Amino acid sequence: MKKENKKGIVRKWIVDILIIIVSAALYSLGVNCFISPNNIAPGGATGIAIIISGVTGMSVGSLIGLINIPLLIAGFILLNKRTMVKTLISVAAITVFTDYVFAGVPAYLAENGNGILASIFGGVLLGAGLGLAYSREGSSGGTDIVTKIVSRFCPNFKLGQIQLVVDGCVVLAGLAVYRDLNIVLYAIVEIFVQSKMIDMIVYGGQESKMLMIFSDRSEEISKRLLEQSRGVTLLNGEGAYSGDKRQVIVTAIYKRDFSKVKRIIKETDPAAFVVVTNAGEVFGKGFSKLY
């Protein structure tokens, strides 16, 4: 490996670790300011730690670390080592930030049982922390590790389904301990806000779509799209039944531009057959740079 490549790898690792530490700080701030003081158990190791802390009085940070120890060991055995190293750093940082650095920060205590603001702002901070960690191939440990392990041995289960079941069990455990339906509802709100924040950071605020356009007037549609500064690729296609040869247009656009492109297709060829799919990320000219 060349010396320059080694320096690049080391530089990338340093940047990744710094961002993961910042993500842990945001996550811990959300836990200490909004989530833990209002007994909201938002799933995962953090939710379990908050429940146990409410019963035993142990510190949330220490419990997060203890719960993650067996999961980290299993992860190092069964999962990608690079991801697990970053996850270990993240868990250690969350433990330290939660129990020591942010231990004395002012907590938002919901008045009159109204914890909706705590759920929303807690979800924003936790989601921002997790999103930054995910963007650097890290995680907060806990159910993230469980989900990946289960997915490896049971590939028929989707990651989202596994995560939903695991987090759902934690939320129900919170209901059993606190015996307050409001706590469960606040946890659901927090999980929803958190997931939206993660998607915004990991996939970016610019949602995109990919279109495959089947038309007898593909050249005209392509020309009009190019005039709108859209990237267009033409694929040679053939109808399986008719045997007719035609060009298939493939293009990626921002979601905000979909109506304009749809109108162009309709005006040029109302009989066109169009397949539209959501694109989580699009890299390259006209979109985000490949990182």
- Digit-by-digit pLDDT tens for the chain (291 residues) are 455 577 778 888 899 999 999 999 999 999 999 999 998 888 888 999 999 998 898 999 999 999 999 999 998 998 888 889 999 999 999 999 999 999 888 888 887 667 889 999 999 999 999 888 888 878 888 887 887 787 777 766 665 567 777 788 888 888 888 888 888 889 989 988 988 888 788 766 566 788 899 988 888 999 888 887 778 888 888 777 777 788 899 988 877 678 788 888 988 999 888 998 887 667 766 666 655
| Span(s) in the chain for CATH 3.30.70.120 | 208-279
pLDDT for 160: 58
Q: Please state which architecture CATH assigns to domain 208-279.
A: 2-Layer Sandwich (3.30)
Give a three-class secondary structure readout of the chain: CCHHHHHHHHHHHHHHHHHHHHHHHHHHHHHHHHHHHHCCCCCHHHHHHHHHHHHHCCCHHHHHHHHHHHHHHHHHHHCCHHHHHHHHHHHHHHHHHHHHHCCCCCCCCCHHHCCHHHHHHHHHHHHHHHHHHHHCCCCCCCHHHHHHHHHHHCCCCCHHHHHHHHHHHHHHHHHHHHCCHHHHHHHHHHHHHHHHHHHHHHHCCCCEEEEEEECCCHHHHHHHHHHCCCCCEEEEEECCCCCCEEEEEEEEEEHHHHHHHHHHHHHHCCCCEEEEEEECCCECCCCECCC
